[in-house]
């Protein structure tokens, strides 16, 4: 992203940015604690920034959060530790929870500012509210997918009302929230079409300066809004009270602008202007879980070692014998310790003696310009393939699947070549024809076409979007993975279906927490309304 030269104003004193990168941020923006005025465009940027920990690929996100869900989804390799296979730290859960409400508090400030404007000024400022709302909904859907019911419609108001007691918001039903988001994203899409046709040059210039996600590109925001809506619509179309509603939204989304080209994905890219999250993120894989996942390898070698998935060599570095071997849930801890390497995060073997394949260094652990995906073309292709295969929309499921394989391959080869690492090996994308031919053979090899679609979407999510991978497994049951009971665990013995609310909200919002426990409950084994 380019350095934004305008000032970020109006970040709430109750929700100030507080991360290890704040000093970098304040180098480009006026200290928010010292500002006295706020504008809608600056508040939009503040909301984006408040969500940076769970938007950018950062060390904190990888180590404390994606590390958990990568294990649940088995998209990362890891050492089996009996007694803590499904464990997660409540403090890390609280951090994710608090981060969302920091985003929401900033949005409420923007919403309040916008509502106080004259009608004429609203016309010029609605775009900032709309774009922030898309971003908020992206994170809200993730919260619903983790916890189920969460506070939203009355939450985040303390910076406006100053009423501490009144700020303890009730929990909204997650089905109601999903319905609201799908409806509102449809409305926002139409707003963006109107803005694209009639937005003023001044507003467009300001948007380019303040928008560090899509750089003011309204076509990309249209694609983001509609692709996010498609993800949500597919999510609710299989089970629950919203199936008919969701399936109707799927059809509508597939007739509108979507992310269909890897080169136009919704993503944030590290660069050299002070927003460098690449170093933190790549270092995370040097500290832990720098090892391949055997289920991922199995999916990418389904046609045999002589006919491997084109993505395999840019995702993993083979072992000393040129073989791709990863960890799996059936291995004993002692075996993994004996065969692990120092760079895996467990074991004593050196690189030259490595038994397990590792994460590719050029793509991951030495990539100084790592792409942080938000919505990729490959995900959208696989969503469309699933919708067509299930009969929710017209089209050719195989063609959508092949498109997904092409866009996914392009994404990983692009990631592999983002930075000229002296340590890693860079590969040239083999070309669309090669990938299409492989994808066609792979499609033919599956009797269950949904298995093909959802397994390859799971491979695509990989370590970059591990929470999405876990959510997809819970919703569909694909891919079919092994999850042994951890009989030595004190608390969570089996794969969770949801994450329990953090202890902090139990203490600070007890009355409303007790109310949601009475309706939804707060157990890890509770299935959410959309889950298989």
Q: Judge whether residue 16 has pLDDT over 50.
A: no
What is the rounded CA–CA span in Å between residue 478 and residue 450? 8
Q: How far apart are CA 251 and CA 288, in angstroms?
A: 42
More confident residue, 342 or 485: 485
Predicted local confidence at residue 31, as pLDDT: 36
Residues in Cβ contact with 312 at an 8 Å cutoff, skipping those fewer than 6 apart: 297, 300, 301, 324
What residue has token string 């942080």?
A: 372
Over residues 181-188, mean pLDDT: 99
pLDDT for 420 equals 86
Please provide the size of the chain in residues: 532
Give tens-digit pLDDT for 147-169: 999 999 999 999 999 888 888 99
Residue 1: predicted pLDDT = 40
pLDDT in tens, 40-71: 999 999 999 999 889 987 888 888 899 899 99
Average pLDDT over residues 190-206: 91
Q: Is the pLDDT of residue 38 over 50?
A: yes
Average pLDDT over residues 451-469: 98
> What is the pairing mode between strands 371-375 and 266-269?
antiparallel
Above 90 in pLDDT, residue 36? no
Q: Work out the pLDDT band at 32, boundaries 50, 70, 90.
A: very low
With bands split at pLDDT 50, 70 and 90, how would you rate the model's confidence at 441?
very high
For residues 375 and 224, the answer to whether their CB atoms sit within 8 Å is: yes
Residue partners of 212: CB distance under 8 A and separation at least 6? 1, 4, 45, 48, 268, 275
Q: How many CB atoms lie within 10 A of CB 337?
A: 12
Q: Is 90 exceeded by the pLDDT of residue 130?
A: yes
Long-range contacts of 501-504 (CB under 8 A, 24+ apart): 501/93, 501/97, 501/147, 502/90, 502/93, 502/94, 502/97, 503/90, 503/94, 504/94, 504/97, 504/98
Structure confidence by residue, pLDDT tens digits, 305-360: 999 999 999 999 999 999 999 999 999 989 999 999 887 878 888 888 999 999 99
Residues 116-134: what's their mean pLDDT?
96
Share of the chain above pLDDT 70, in %: 90
Residue tagged 């070692």 (tokens): 305
Q: What does the pLDDT read at residue 323?
A: 97
Q: Mark 95-117 as b/e (b = at least 16 C-beta within 10 Å).
A: bbbebbbbbbbbbbbbbebbeee
* Tokens coding 70: 């990568």
| Domains along the chain with CATH numbers | 13-55+90-276+501-519 (1.25.40.390), 278-476 (no CATH)
Give residue 369's pLDDT: 84
3-state secondary structure of 70: helix
pLDDT per residue as tens digits for the range 274-290: 555 555 666 666 666 79
Structure tokens, 411: 């994404």
- pTM value is 0.93
Percent of the chain at pLDDT above 90?
76
Q: What is the mean pLDDT of the chain?
A: 90
Mean pLDDT of 456-477: 98
More confident residue, 5 or 97: 97
Distant-in-sequence, close-in-space partners of 147: CB < 8 Å, separation ≥ 6: 174, 498, 499, 500, 501
């Amino acid at each position: 992203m380019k350095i934004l030269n305008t000032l970020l104003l109006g970040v709430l004193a109750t929700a100030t940015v507080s991360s290890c990168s704040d000093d970098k941020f304040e180098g480009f923006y006026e200290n928010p604690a010292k500002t006295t005025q706020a504008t809608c465009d600056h508040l939009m940027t503040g909301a984006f920034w408040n969500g940076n920990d769970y938007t950018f690929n950062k060390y904190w996100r990888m180590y404390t959060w994606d590390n958990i869900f990568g294990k649940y989804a088995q998209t990362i390799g890891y050492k089996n530790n009996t007694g803590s296979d499904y464990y997660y730290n409540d403090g890390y859960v609280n951090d994710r929870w608090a981060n969302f409400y920091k985003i929401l508090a900033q949005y409420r400030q923007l919403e309040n500012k916008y509502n106080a404007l004259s009608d004429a000024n609203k016309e010029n400022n609605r775009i900032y509210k709309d774009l922030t709302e898309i971003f908020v909904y992206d994170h809200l859907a993730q919260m619903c997918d983790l916890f189920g019911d969460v506070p939203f419609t009355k939450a985040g108001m303390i910076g406006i009302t100053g009423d501490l007691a009144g700020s303890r918001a009730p929990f909204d039903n997650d089905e109601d929230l999903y319905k609201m988001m799908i409806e509102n994203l449809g409305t926002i899409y139409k707003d963006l079409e109107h803005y694209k046709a009639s937005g003023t040059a001044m507003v467009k210039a300001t948007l380019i300066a303040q928008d560090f996600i899509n750089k003011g590109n309204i076509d990309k925001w249209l694609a983001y809004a509609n692709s996010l809506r498609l993800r949500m619509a597919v999510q609710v179309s299989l089970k629950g009270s919203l199936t008919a509603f969701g399936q109707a939204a799927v059809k509508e989304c597939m007739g509108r602008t979507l992310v269909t080209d890897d080169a136009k994905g919704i993503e944030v890219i590290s660069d050299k202007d002070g927003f460098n999250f690449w170093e933190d993120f790549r270092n995370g894989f040097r500290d832990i879980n720098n090892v391949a996942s055997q289920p991922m390898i199995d999916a990418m070698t389904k046609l045999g070692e002589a006919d491997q998935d084109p993505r395999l060599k840019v995702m993993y570095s083979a072992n000393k014998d040129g073989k791709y071997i990863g960890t799996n849930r059936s291995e004993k801890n002692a075996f993994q310790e004996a065969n692990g390497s120092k760079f895996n995060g467990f074991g004593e073997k050196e690189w030259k003696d490595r038994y397990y394949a590792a994460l590719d260094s050029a793509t991951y652990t030495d990539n100084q310009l790592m792409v942080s995906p938000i919505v990729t073309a490959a995900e959208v292709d696989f969503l469309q393939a699933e919708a067509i295969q299930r009969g929710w929309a017209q089209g050719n499921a195989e063609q959508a699947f092949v498109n997904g394989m092409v866009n996914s391959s392009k994404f990983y080869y692009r990631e592999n070549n983002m930075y000229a690492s002296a340590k890693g090996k860079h590969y040239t994308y083999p070309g669309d024809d090669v990938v299409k031919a492989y994808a066609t053979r792979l499609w033919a090899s599956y009797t269950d076409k949904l298995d093909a679609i959802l397994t390859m979407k799971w491979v695509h999510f990989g370590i970059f979007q591990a929470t999405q991978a876990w959510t997809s497994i819970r919703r569909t049951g694909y891919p079919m993975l092994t999850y042994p009971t951890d009989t030595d665990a004190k608390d969570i013995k089996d794969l969770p279906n949801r994450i329990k609310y953090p202890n902090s909200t139990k203490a600070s919002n007890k009355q409303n927490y007790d109310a949601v426990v009475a309706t939804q409950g707060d157990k890890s084994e509770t299935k959410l309304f959309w889950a298989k």
